[in-house]
Amino acid sequence: DSGVTQTPKHLITATGQRVTLRCSPRSGDLSVYWYQQSLDQGLQFLIQYYNGEERAKGNILERFSAQQFPDLHSELNLSSLELGDSALYFCASSSGSPFNEQFFGPGTRLTVL
C-alpha cells in the first residue's frame, strides 16, 4: 500500500459526459501528479500540482482540468468524454523534490461507452 488513495476504482460513463477523479496524497506529500495509461501505451504525464499550485503540464487535453485543494487532495476533471479517453488514470505523490520517489495510487479505470 503506497499511502496514496484514489476514488473511484472503476467508472463507466457515456461519451459527452463529465467525470471527476479524486486523489489523496500520502501524508506530508505536497506534490500530486496525474497520469493516463491507455491500453498498450506507456504512462503519459498529464499535470503536476505542488502545494495547491500548478507546477508542470504534460500532454493534458483542454477538455481535462485539475486542481489541488488546501487539504492537498486533488481532483482531475474530464469533460466531453470520448471513447479514446478510456484508460487507467493514476495519481502519484511526492514531497516535491525532483529526485524524490513518486508513490502511485491504485488508479481509476475509466470506461467510456
Partner 1 sequence: KNQVEQSPQSLIILEGKNCTLQCNYTVSPFSNLRWYKQDTGRGPVSLTIMTFSENTKSNGRYTATLDADTKQSSLHITASQLSDSASYICVVSPANQAGTALIFGKGTTLSVSS
Query: With binding defined as CB under 8 A, does residue 64 bind partner 1?
Result: no
Greatest C-alpha distance within the chain:
39
The phi and psi torsions of 83 (rounded to 5 degrees) equal -55, -35
Query: With binding defined as CB under 8 A, does residue 51 bind partner 1?
Result: no
Dihedral through CA 19, CA 102, CA 60, CA 64, nearest 10? 20
Q: Which three cell numbers stand for residue 101?
A: 520517489
Query: With binding defined as CB under 8 A, does residue 76 bind partner 1?
Result: no
Query: With binding defined as CB under 8 A, does residue 104 bind partner 1?
Result: yes
Query: With binding defined as CB under 8 A, does residue 56 bind partner 1?
Result: yes
Query: With binding defined as CB under 8 A, does residue 92 bind partner 1?
Result: yes
Q: Which three cell numbers stand for residue 3?
A: 499511502
Residues that bind partner 1 (CB under 8 A): 2, 4, 31, 33, 40-45, 48, 55-58, 88, 90, 92, 94, 96, 98-99, 101-107, 109
